């Protein structure tokens, strides 16, 4: 019996350790993801097939980078963003058809959807937007941080799950976790979840590892390339945004990987950092 009991106990310990492996720890602004092997991707997804990946330990921000943080960077460096130089930020305004964006020459991170729709004075806790991937790399160098790789972002987003969302496969639960677009189309503004554009970071429920806004709010740029898009001018972002609706950009999930030009600035694109 003693031998049997010790085997059973060993088995229980092994199962517990297996369950704990890969669970993030910490608290505060960053969460540590332990070194190890994780499952990413989705069966049948051409860009992101279901597979195992191994990563080193990394620390990922619990929230998306805010206007306040970007403001500190601008004040310290005097950096001028792509959209400010080129006056080509693309923004949302009501009555646009699906997938249409308005090129507002007044839009930049200070006025994410153009001057007429207001500045960020009262939105310093919102994620910074209307910045390009190219701008973000400069910010990261200044702040001593980096973007997550495509795999790191997904590992953090999934929080140990293999389902479409970290909370399972039920899209109806998304509104608890994410600031997305609830309207049928984009002809009329939609703020049924309390927000027309971005929300302050952390306004919705976190995933099991304490990470907020992994779905919705803003697309989050990642480092790394996909084989299908070797162009040096293409960057990849993940996680969906406030603009994304079930009827158009069905992108608020754990597996999709988007692509856009490294100098494109949209009012639904932002980032979170890793260190």
Partner 1 sequence: MKPLYLFLLLCATTICSQAQDEGEAWKEPSKESRAYHTYRNYMSEPSYGKLKILGLLKKLTPDEDDNEKLKQSDYLSLTLREKFTYHMMHGESYSQNCDARPPIQDEHKKIFGRLPEMFGENNWSERQVQFLRSNKDSVMQWIKECVAKEKRLGLNLKHAIVDINAREMIPFLISTYKTDKKDHDILTVLMLLMKNNEYKEFMVSTSNKKLYGDEINSYDAFLNFNIPNEELIIKRATDFYNGLPK
Q: Choose, by CB under 8 A, the member of 35, 141, 250, 275 that binds partner 1.
A: 250
Binding of partner 1 by 234 (CB under 8 A): yes
Four-CA torsion 108, 112, 118, 123, nearest 10 degrees: -120
- The answer to the question of residue 49 lying near partner 1 (CB under 8 A) is yes
Helix 67-77 to helix 133-143 angle (10° resolution) is: 70
Site string for partner 1, 172-201 (x = CB under 8 A): ------------x-----------------
Under the binding rule (CB under 8 A), the answer on residue 161 touching partner 1 is: no
- 166 touches 214 (CB < 8 A): yes
CA–chain centroid gap for 46, Å, is: 21
Separation between Cα atoms, residue 251 and residue 91, nearest integer Å? 18
**Segment lying near partner 1 (by CB under 8 A), choices 141-149, 196-204, 205-213, 263-271:** 263-271
Our finding on whether 146 is near partner 1 (CB under 8 A) is no
Question: Smaller CB distance to partner 1: residue 32 or 161?
Answer: 161
Q: Going residue by residue from 69 to 108, which x/- string records binding to partner 1, judged by CB under 8 A? A: -------------x--xx-x-x------x-x-xxx-----
Residue 159: exposed, middle, or buried by beta-carbon count in 10 A (0-12, 13-18, 19+)?
A: buried
Q: How many residues bind partner 1 (CB under 8 A)?
A: 51
Give the angle subtended at the CA of 127 by the CAs of 85 and 275, to the nearest 5°. 95
Place of tokens 């950096």: 79
Which of 212, 252, 260, 273 touches partner 1 by CB under 8 A? 260
How many H helices and E strands in the chain? 6, 11
Interacting residues toward partner 1 by CB under 8 A:
4, 7-8, 11, 43-47, 49-52, 82, 85-86, 88, 90, 97, 99, 101-103, 162, 184, 219, 228-229, 231, 233-234, 237, 241, 246-251, 256-264, 266, 268-269
């Amino acid at each position: 019996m003693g031998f049997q009991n010790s085997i059973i106990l060993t088995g229980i310990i092994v199962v517990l350790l297996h369950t704990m492996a890969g669970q993030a720890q910490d608290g505060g602004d960053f969460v540590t993801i332990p070194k190890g092997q994780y499952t990413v991707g989705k069966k049948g997804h051409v860009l992101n097939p279901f597979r195992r990946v191994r990563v080193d330990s990394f620390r990922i921000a619990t929230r998306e980078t805010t206007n306040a943080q970007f403001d500190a960077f601008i004040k310290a460096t005097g950096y001028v963003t792509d959209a400010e130089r080129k006056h080509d930020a693309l923004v949302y305004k009501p009555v646009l058809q699906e997938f249409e964006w308005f090129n507002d020459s007044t839009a930049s991170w200070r006025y994410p959807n153009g001057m007429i729709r207001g500045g960020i004075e009262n939105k310093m806790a919102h994620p910074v937007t209307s910045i390009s991937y190219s701008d973000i790399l400069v910010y990261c160098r200044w702040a001593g941080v980096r973007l997550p790789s495509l795999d790191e972002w997904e590992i953090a987003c999934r929080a140990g799950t293999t389902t479409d969302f970290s909370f399972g496969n039920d899209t109806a639960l998304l509104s608890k976790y994410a600031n997305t677009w609830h309207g049928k189309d984009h002809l009329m503004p939609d703020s049924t979840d309390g927000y027309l554009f971005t929300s302050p970071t952390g306004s919705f429920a976190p995933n099991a590892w304490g990470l907020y806004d992994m779905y919705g709010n803003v697309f989050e740029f990642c480092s790394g390339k996909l084989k299908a898009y070797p162009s040096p001018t293409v960057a990849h972002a993940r996680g969906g945004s406030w603009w994304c609706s079930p009827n158009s950009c069905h992108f608020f999930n754990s597996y999709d990987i988007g692509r856009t030009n490294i100098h494109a600035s949209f009012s639904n694109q932002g980032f979170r950092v890793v260190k």
